[in-house]
Structure 1
Amino acid sequence: MAEDGQDEQSLEALYGVLRADLLRFLVARTGSAGDAEDLAQELWLKLRQPSGTPILNGRAYIYRMAQNLVVDRLREKQRRMRRDRLWSDGNGHHDHSVEPVDPSPNAEEEMLDREETALLMSALRTLPEGARRAFELHKIEGLSHAEVAARLGISKSGVEKHMAVAMKYLRRAMLD
């Protein structure tokens, strides 16, 4: 049992309260609603297991677990890609009867990429002017927040606020 009455049952209850926010958090980090759902389910299962250590801040504990699951998923994906690349390289050099895998996207992937790009461009056009300009300078032209602030004649905090508006708006547009 954790301090301040933060036991496993109350962590599960807190998870229930935070679930919608956690999903948005996970989608923002994975870029995929499906992956976010998977990670949220995995998080819920982990929360049901006794922690054995005192938990002073249940909300922070749950978000830290969620972030750790995202990092674990990314590392697993990188290991799998490295393993597949090594296998492909090893087999491609020794067995000439095996055709190498074509790294270019297939027709479905290209179509989905075009649709996603069109959706993003449409969403960018409808952003408020300040948010759109800050987003384009930072994300497309690669300027730092300080450089964007200097270019637009606003504070760095203003750039951060414009970016928050743009990211929230674009995330919503891409998920709908």
Structure 2
Amino acid sequence: MTAEPSSAGLEAAFLENREKLVRFLRARGAGDAAEDLVQEVWLKITASSPGPVASPLSYLFRTADRLMIDRFRSVRQAGLRDRDWTQVHAGDPPGISAEPSPERRIAAAQEAASILALLDGLGARVAAIFRRHRIEGAPQKTVAAEMGLSLSTVEAELRVAYRALAEWKEREK
């Protein structure tokens, strides 16, 4: 096989095999970045003059593969850098506490008491089901089994609680 002139041979090989390069990069995990990487291959071969290339297609695939690896490493490093920066700077800003103010604590306690009173006003069973499921995190099936109720009864009682909470929220706006 004879060596072809660098730019003419590479550019012709690129233009003929552009779709193959895109498929190759997607198969290697480039995903949506495949088109961008192929564009980078084009820019690289048009901006440089590597000399005569005996196998232009192999050269293009190697170039595309290396660019994809470089991009992967760059993205990974950026992620690590961001994670490290976040860990270093993740505290509260100087002079500002993440703790709520005493006024906000009192308001939250009053709101919680109001909601608990609302739930208790719906009946002991509704309040118990709501607390067990939504506050303690028990699955509805578990709540039904523990209380000796059917799953549909538990769901109906939760709907009563949710409706009452939605109405309360509308009133409090």
TM-score of the superposed pair, with normalisation by structure 2: 0.50
Q: Which has the larger radius of gyration?
A: 2
